[in-house]
Amino acid sequence: MNMFAAIAHPEQDVLKSLEMAAPTNAFASRAYGAYLATQNGVPYVFEYNEGASKISFLGILREGRLHKRLEIPSAPNCAPSHGVWEALQQWARKEWLTEINLLTFGSWLSTMPALGPLSHIKTRREYVLDLRPEQPFVKMRKGHKTNLSKARRAGLVLRRSASVDDCIEHAKLIDASMSRRLERGEDVTTGANMRPLLSLLETGAGVLFQALYEDQVVASNLFLLAPEGAYNHTQGANDLGFEHGAAQFVLAEAMQALRDEGRWCFNFGGTDQFGSGLEKFKTGFSKTTEVIELQAGTFGVRHRYLSALRRLIA
């Protein structure tokens, strides 16, 4: 018999089980579950048991005067016909949800299930590198090699941190990078929100790696952590960092440090701007980087009684 459970405010044992089932996914870690608990909403773990197999994933439910929305940060990699989706729909109707936002950070879901009326869909990609080989950087792009050499000649130093002050610097550097991309005509937003960044660091869901040039932070990355993986959440560099190859330096050095800790599955993060400079940057570290084709979507929740009432009114 198939069983579906929606566990609000999950305890540590539930989060530990989730983490053990997906040890490379930073959006399924105990710390990320703790992070969701600090956000404006009710955190959930959803479990679907089918025989001997179990599917589990995190979500957060947010409620306002006129809406009740479920956001799933990392959708399970299940076929559109899988029973978990029908079970999720039934639960959403029972709880009178108005919307489900199905995201695919750290996921492998390439085709959206039919969860209800589709109001928005996005095609995107993520980029994953296996760090287990002795030499994970295979045929690194020439520009990346040049920038790494510049960084080392300049004497850049790597720092690991989770402090408030360093998070402030991280947010400033994100804005600096976004401003450069905006000037190049890319479709980006500026103004990094500090509160979720700090929460990620405070709960242990993430960590900062930063490049220092003469004691000045010139590039910074925030990585989400899983027992066997890491996800490049946000990054930024100022003009001085850009000049000295700091963006490539932070990633290359951080990947080595994370690998030494047993975190072998590295996700560079995603984009929906195919062929952009950002995509070329992410794929430039190694020819073995796997490109993951993904979709994300927002669905309305169809309620039978409300649909019947609308037809009567019409």
What DSSP state is assigned to residue 289? P
Q: Which strands, in side-by-side order, build the sheet including 3-8?
A: 3-8, 42-50, 53-63, 68-72, 99-102, 290-300, 118-130, 265-271, 229-237, 216-226, 206-213, 157-161
pLDDT band at 310 (very low <50, low <70, confident <90, very high): very low
Burial environment of residue 288 by CB neighbours within 10 A (0 to 12, 13 to 18, 19 or more): middle
Quote the tokens at residue 269.
Answer: 């993060």
Quote the tokens at residue 181.
Answer: 């991309």
pLDDT exceeds cutoff 70 at 170: yes
Going from the C-alpha of 137 to that of each of 145, 255, 290, the distances in angstroms are 10, 10, 13
Task: Convert the pLDDT of each residue in 175-208 to its tens digit.
Answer: 877 666 555 655 556 557 889 999 999 999 999 9
State what percent of residues in the chain have pLDDT above 90. Answer: 85
Output the average pLDDT for the chain.
92
Going from the C-alpha of 260 to that of each of 31, 155, 210, the distances in angstroms are 20, 22, 18
List 46's β-bridge partners, or say none: 6, 57
Quote the tokens at residue 79.
Answer: 């076929």
* Domains delineated in the chain: 3-125+294-313 (3.40.630.30), 134-287 (3.40.630.30)
pLDDT exceeds cutoff 80 at 105: yes
State what percent of residues in the chain have pLDDT above 70. Answer: 91
What DSSP state is assigned to residue 238? -
pLDDT exceeds cutoff 80 at 153: yes
